[in-house]
Structure 1
Amino acid sequence: MDLLRQFRKHLQESLCISENHRIVLAVSGGRDSMLMAYLFIEAGYACVIAHCNFKLRGAESDKDEALVREFAKAYKVPFVRRDFDTARYAEDKHISIQMAARELRYLWFEELRVQESAEWIAIAQHQNDHIETTLLNLTRGTGLRGLRGILPKQGHLIRPLLFLSSEQVTAQVASLAIPFRDDQSNFSTKYARNKIRLEVVPKLKEISPDFDAIMVDNIANFQESYRLLQSFVSPIREQLFLRKARDIELLKTALAPYIDNLSLLFELFRPYGFSKSVLQDLQGAWEGESGRYFQSPDYEMLLDRHVIRLRHLTEPHEGPTGTVDVQMDSALTRFCDRIFETNLSEDVSIVRDTTIAKLDFDHLIFPLRIRFWEEGDAFYPLGMSGRQKVSDFFIQQKIDRYTKKQIPLLINGNGHILWIAGYRMDNRYRITKSTKKVFTLVYK
């Protein structure tokens, strides 16, 4: 079977890519990506060639771009390129140059895919890249998940050359006279992946001449084992992890049967990035005092009395910011997603509803202000003569860290806290025998 027919068959049968799909082709100018671009074009797919100039190799980077541009022009395929200040990005993010280039290009490819109304982004990684990734992940301790190598399809990303070896790519490029440029950094062993390719793999082939074929079979087995594991773990995770507004909650009673099994616990929490050491701390705190916090790179976890709460670290932990004024003649005041209905009357009757505050009008200084809790806030709780920090009041009320930063506070013009909405008024502004006018707020 000739390569083009094999390529079409692989796209349609293995990757389920329709002939009418539009593809963004990530083309660097190297053998792999130039062959991939040629095959997609010859197969008749609607394509856009995308080229990244990372500005890392001076004139050589510009020559790569010129080659890809001329190739696109010769085949009448749209060409889009973008420059990146990769070194500065790496410095700002405190990551390696290679990781910076990876993040930059994948973010741009997705942006371009949406802009071009394309279904897929095609990346030209081949079978040897697949093997090298598995070996590299093995050195990083990524477990069974990392031993799956490069997946042929992830979201909108496809790797349509994984069925070809590096030798086959080189032979086909020569046979078809496809132009390309070598990136000399690929031959430097200062990068871990290159060291594996140039030094480790040749030694392994000395031990086992069929090393590549054996590794491809091993990776297929690793992938199957991982799928089997997930078929067991995923239903449990779906049952345990419940989405509640911005939080994810787990009932402690539901997680309890699994808490002593660290391996299973690690798999259950894997999507949220918690390490085994952190989960061991969770196990140790399980029967202890509630209120403990645990953190992964992306999530914060609260161990409460009856539930475990997860929240993404990009969420506004401090709650929505800003303030809003309440005027004397306001009938309705909106604050974030809350509503405060207000009125002035001579009704001095006492209500026990915590969503209603009836304040002595003569002690108020307008405009009043609504905001969220701030460190150092204190008030005189209704029914008490003493002063108390709001944070201590929240602890007494068993209000967790997430919730307390979402509770509005009503502030007098002199800076005093009048009311913790939905919880408690300040004792100094209650209705007394001498009260003549009452300013009432209803919190919704």
Structure 2
Amino acid sequence: MDIDVRFERYIEDHKLFTKEDKLLVAVSGGKDSMLLLTLLAQYGVSVEAAHCNFELRGEESDGDEGLVRTYCDQLGVPLHIRRFDTISYANSHKISIQMAARELRYDWFEMLRQEVGCDYIAVAQHKNDHVETVLLNLSRGTGLLGLQGILPKRDNVLRPLLFLTAAEVLSVVESLDVPYRDDSSNFSNKYARNKIRLDIIPQFEQLNPDFVSIMEDNIVRFQDAQGVLSLLVAQKRDELFVQIGEQQWEISKEAIKAQGISLLYYVFEPYGFSRSVLDDMLRALDAESGRVFLSEAYELLVDRRILRLRRKENSDELSELSGGEARVEWGDYIFTARCSADISVDRNPDIALLDYDKLIFPLTVRSWQEGDVFQPLGMTGTKKVSDFFIQKKINLFDKKNIPIVVNGNGELLWIATYQLDDRYKITENTQKVLKLVCNIR
């Protein structure tokens, strides 16, 4: 089948783009990207080219840039070139040269895409790259998700050559007389991907010459299996998780006990919990409540009858009331303050009436901290705030979200909406009252 027909069919089958779109094409000067630029120009879609000179191979890098510039001029394609100090970037970020080059080029591609008004970024990975990615992920201990290979379309990045093998790319390039340059670093097996390409895949091809095509079929099965698994896991997650707020869920402990660790790993996978953490969580279900298990972005609380999952919040947030007439925000709460000579009692739990002359400004609104104590209204001694929360059956997650108003001398004034400190209540001797109102946004 003619290459133009196969190319067009692949684009249409995977709904990669339309002729009304504008593409930014990543062009290195190698055979893959030069072929992609050629086919896109023949296809009739509007394109601009982007070339990265990573300044890693001296005159060879400059030669690649020169070839790309000449060919883009020949095709009438606008070209953008960016030079990078790749080694300095890698050293400063403590990453490999390959990872540095990847980060630099994709960050620039996306910035340039937006700048020149392109809809997508087109890169020239082919079927062999697809297989290499799976083998590389497999060698690193990936799960099923890592066996999906390279997707034809992901976010703003397109890969229109995934239907071609490396051998087919070379054949088409030669038949169309497309100029290209080989990157000498591609022939060194000191890099993991190159080692797979140069050493490992040829060994498999000795066992079966159609290894790449067979692997492509396997990858399709992996993708199908992942799709089915994702659907079933999503249904199980919807069954187990009861959303109680933005980025907050409740989960029945009894329901969790009925699930195996393998299923739970997939259910909790979007929240970043490792298998070992989930194992520890399961062992803690029948122990004393209050334990918290953490991932990078989420926290999971084992409460009395339920688990509570939520996105981590900044519990160190502080807000200050700088005077007698003020308004501040803290978390989901808004505090307003005003002064008055009225010493009438107001039993609204959202209002604190404080003896103004005992206050030291600025007052601070913050969350509970370990060791906090106060003198509850009507008592003569102090009490730990943590004990107060336990008495009120307030769990660890909720108590971190309860605002506490603190005097300038460090003493607690008010556990907002719950309890006033007796030392700062208004009395018959009070001359001036600070009325502090707490409202939820």
TM-score band by shorter chain is 0.7 to 0.9
1:332-411 matched pairs, under 5 angstroms: 332-336=326-330, 338-372=333-367, 377-388=372-383, 390=385, 393-394=388-389, 397=392, 399=394, 403-411=398-406
Structure 1 counterpart of 2:314: 317
Deviation at 1:403, TM superposition (A): 4.6
Matches of 2:328 and 2:76, distance apart in 1: 56
Deviation at 1:91, TM superposition (A): 4.0
Matches of 1:194 and 1:297, distance apart in 2: 33
Specify whether residues 89 and 427 from structure 1 end up closer, same or farther in structure 2 by C-alpha distance, changes over 3 A only: farther
Structure 1, unmatched stretches of 5+, are: none
Matches of 2:246 and 2:106, distance apart in 1: 27
Structure 2 counterpart of 1:264: 263
Q: Does 1:277 align with 2:276?
A: yes
Structure 2, unmatched stretches of 5+, are: none
Q: Residue type matched to 1:333 in 2?
A: R
Q: Residue type matched to 1:6 in 2?
A: R
Matches of 1:95 and 1:392, distance apart in 2: 48
Cα contact 1:361–1:438 (8 A) shared by 2? yes
Cα contact 2:321–2:328 (8 A) shared by 1? no
Structure 1 window deviating more from structure 2 (192-201 vs 429-438): it is 429-438
Cα contact 2:240–2:252 (8 A) shared by 1? no
How many residue pairs get aligned? The number is 437
Q: Residue type matched to 2:333 in 1?
A: R
Cα contact 1:346–1:438 (8 A) shared by 2? yes
Q: Matched residue of 2:262: which SS?
A: helix
Structure 1 counterpart of 2:169: 169
Matches of 1:178 and 1:105, distance apart in 2: 24
Cα contact 1:317–1:402 (8 A) shared by 2? no
Structure 2 counterpart of 1:184: 184
Structure 2 counterpart of 1:219: 219
Q: Matched residue of 1:249: which SS?
A: strand
Specify whether residues 99 and 386 from structure 1 end up closer, same or farther in structure 2 by C-alpha distance, changes over 3 A only: farther
With the length of structure 1 as denominator, give the TM-score of the two structures: 0.87
Deviation at 1:126, TM superposition (A): 0.6
Cα contact 1:320–1:406 (8 A) shared by 2? no
Specify whether residues 399 and 58 from structure 1 end up closer, same or farther in structure 2 by C-alpha distance, changes over 3 A only: farther
Cα contact 2:86–2:101 (8 A) shared by 1? yes
Matches of 1:319 and 1:246, distance apart in 2: 20
Structure 1 window deviating more from structure 2 (178-187 vs 236-245): it is 236-245
Q: Does 1:40 align with 2:40?
A: yes
Cα contact 2:24–2:121 (8 A) shared by 1? yes
Deviation at 1:286, TM superposition (A): 2.1
Specify whether residues 78 and 304 from structure 1 end up closer, same or farther in structure 2 by C-alpha distance, changes over 3 A only: farther
Structure 1 counterpart of 2:411: 416
Q: Does 1:327 align with 2:326?
A: no
Deviation at 1:300, TM superposition (A): 3.8
Deviation at 1:124, TM superposition (A): 1.0
Matches of 1:299 and 1:121, distance apart in 2: 33
Q: Matched residue of 2:148: which SS?
A: coil
Matches of 1:224 and 1:436, distance apart in 2: 75
What RMSD, in angstroms, separates the aligned Cα atoms of the two structures?
2.8
Specify whether residues 158 and 66 from structure 1 end up closer, same or farther in structure 2 by C-alpha distance, changes over 3 A only: same
Cα contact 2:300–2:307 (8 A) shared by 1? no
Q: Percent identity?
A: 48
1:197-276 matched pairs, under 5 angstroms: 197-241=197-241, 247-253=247-253, 255-256=255-256, 258=258, 260-276=259-275
Q: Matched residue of 1:266: which SS?
A: helix
